[in-house]
């Protein structure tokens, strides 16, 4: 339920003109001005909304992981390059850290070398939902804290 723009109470609101301003106020505050219309609102949307974003990232230690896994399997850089259908120079740059693999290339390497290069990262953001919302001064003070 929305809050009174004058006192902040959560009640059924009435539109009223108070000191030349049109406000949504509770019945108690409506007596300070001229009530215009009684309006009943459905439940208000939360003021803060959390969103979670899932991101795939490449492990920053990928050069060592790739090189160690390749050496454990007894493969040369040339052999691995042929298996994943890439140039030898790409393999060299991957193992020296001069080139970060794309997600597609990382998936190929994970499958062939039986390693884990892609990590899932979740980022949670709080977003203010100011659309279709009436703010009081008290709401703004609560947001700041």
- What does the pLDDT profile of the chain (145 residues) look like in tens digits? 678 888 888 888 888 888 878 888 888 888 888 777 444 444 555 556 677 778 888 899 999 999 999 999 999 999 999 999 999 999 999 999 999 999 899 999 999 999 999 888 777 766 665 555 566 676 667 665 5
Question: What pLDDT score was predicted for residue 65?
Answer: 95
| Angle, helices 88-96/62-72, rounded to nearest 10 degrees | 120
Q: Check: CB of residue 81 under 8 Å from CB of residue 91.
A: yes
Helices (H) and strands (E) in the chain, counts: 6, 5
Is 1.10.260.40 the CATH number for 57-115? yes
Q: What is the DSSP letter of 9?
A: -
Q: Check: CB of residue 108 under 8 Å from CB of residue 118.
A: no
The token pair that represents 36 in the structure block: 């215009």
Question: What pLDDT score was predicted for residue 133?
Answer: 58
C-beta atoms surrounding 122 within 10 Å:
8
Q: Is 8 left (phi over 0), alpha (psi -120 to 50) or beta?
A: left
With a threshold of 0.85, does the pTM exceed it? no
C-alpha to C-alpha distances, 24 to 21, 48, 91, 126, 133, nearest whole angstrom: 10, 21, 66, 27, 12
Question: What pLDDT score was predicted for residue 42?
Answer: 47
The token pair that represents 75 in the structure block: 């493969």
Q: What is the DSSP letter of 10?
A: B
The token pair that represents 16 in the structure block: 């009223």
Q: Check: CB of residue 139 under 8 Å from CB of residue 3.
A: yes
The token pair that represents 66 in the structure block: 């790739």
């Amino acid at each position: 339920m929305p809050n009174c723009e004058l006192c902040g109470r959560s009640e059924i609101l009435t539109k009223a003109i108070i000191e030349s301003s049109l406000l949504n106020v509770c019945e108690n505050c409506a007596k300070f001005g001229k009530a215009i219309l009684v309006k009943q609102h459905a439940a208000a949307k939360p003021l803060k909304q959390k969103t979670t974003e899932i991101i795939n990232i490449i492990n920053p230690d990928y050069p060592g992981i790739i090189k160690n896994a390749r050496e454990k399997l007894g493969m040369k850089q040339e052999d691995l390059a042929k298996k994943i259908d890439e140039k030898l120079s790409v393999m060299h740059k991957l193992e020296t850290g001069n080139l970060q693999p794309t997600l597609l290339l990382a998936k190929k390497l994970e499958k062939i070398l039986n390693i884990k290069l892609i990590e899932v990262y979740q980022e949670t953001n709080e977003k203010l939902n100011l659309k279709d919302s009436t703010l009081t001064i008290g709401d703004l003070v609560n947001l700041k804290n």
